[in-house]
Structure 1
Amino acid sequence: MTDTAYPLYRTLPGPIHALVLAGTFPLFLGALLSDLAYYNTYLIQWSNFASWLIAGGMLLCGLALLFALVNLLRARPRSGRPLVYFLLLLITWGLGWINAFQHAKDAWAVMPLGLALSAIIMVLSAAAAWTGLTLPRSGGVQ
């Protein structure tokens, strides 16, 4: 009789984790596009759209951060891959928080820092989604 070792948990993100993680990128991308539209047209409604998109992106990023924390706590001690994923999400969420405060200002005071923050956050959310959806979870086959 053979003895087979099974991982303690999934090696791929679950469906809710993947949905939440993949949802952060389009929301932060929409915020960047709204900021670009506001920068070019100075119609205040674009700034309002960006504020709501940032709030939605932060909500989903916070949920993905909780999943990443659980994954980090269940990871092997020497496995640095879940730590990179967790730190990317944490930095994305932290900068999103700063960007939300920036967008809470008067519409004319949002630029140019709001646009720069939105661009950085969009790149970070893309990197976090790529890392989270492609790296195997610890406990899987090496």
Structure 2
Amino acid sequence: MSYPAAPRRSAVANAIYGLLNPIPFGFFVAAMIFDIIYAKTGTILWVKAAAWLITLGLLLAIIPRLVNLAQVWITSRRFSTGADHVDFWLNFVAIVAAILNAFVHSRDAYAMMPAGMWLSVLTVLLIAIGHVIIAVRYSTDRGYNHV
């Protein structure tokens, strides 16, 4: 059985997005781990490092989010699926949570707990759910069959 070829998006945009999209997620995961370590140990070094990681993650999230915005809502909106839209909105809410988290982390180390840790967990969970949704979509689109 033959299926029609799926329309392709810009190769350059896909390359930029694929290269830069995982980097902020790594920073946010590291910040969450540092927040958990701070909650267990009380050493201020961990919360200050988490604040820097959140800030760097937000700065590095700008370009992939702009590429994703253009692909989902502007240039390829006829070809984007519901999974693309859900992933976009989950990442948008995660970025808003990370911005709030950056403000919470700017407070005194003792004053940022537990709100900073929960915002870090929320940010990581939202981005991870978006990645899972996209992964499931691609695996069902390609029709992987385990024989």
TM-score normalised according to structure 1 size: 0.80
User: Aligned-residue CA RMSD in angstroms?
Assistant: 2.8
Matched, 1:71 2:56: no
Matched length? 135
Q: Distance in 2 between matches of 1:82 and 1:115?
A: 28
Relative distance call for 1:66 and 1:6 in structure 2 (3 A) is: same
Could you list the runs of 5+ residues in structure 2 that have no partner in the other structure?
143-147
Q: Counterpart of 1:14 in 2: which secondary structure? A: helix
Aligned residue number for residue 81 of structure 1: 83
Shift of 1:133: 5.9
The CA distance in 2 between the partners of 1:129 and 1:61, in whole Å, is 15
Conservation of the 8 A alpha-carbon contact between 2:20 and 2:64: yes
Query: Whole-Å Cα distance in 2 between the matches of residues 134 and 61 of structure 1?
Result: 23
- Shift in Å at residue 75 of structure 1? 1.6
1:18 paired with 2:18, answer yes
In the alignment, the residues of structure 1 paired with residue 46 and residue 80 of structure 2 have an alpha-carbon distance, to the nearest angstrom, of 45
- One-letter amino acid matched to 1:79: T
2:54/2:98 contact within 8 Å kept: yes
Higher relative contact order (CA 8 A, sep 6+): 1
Matched with 2:37 is 37
- Identity across aligned pairs (percent)? 30
Unaligned runs of 5+ in 1: none
> Offset at 1:82?
2.2
Task: Provide, for residues 85-124 of structure 1, a one-character-per-residue CA deviation record: whole Å limited to 9, x for no partner.
Answer: 2101110100000000000011110101111111111111
Asked if the contact 1:21–1:129 (Cα under 8 Å) also holds between the matched residues in 2, the reply is no
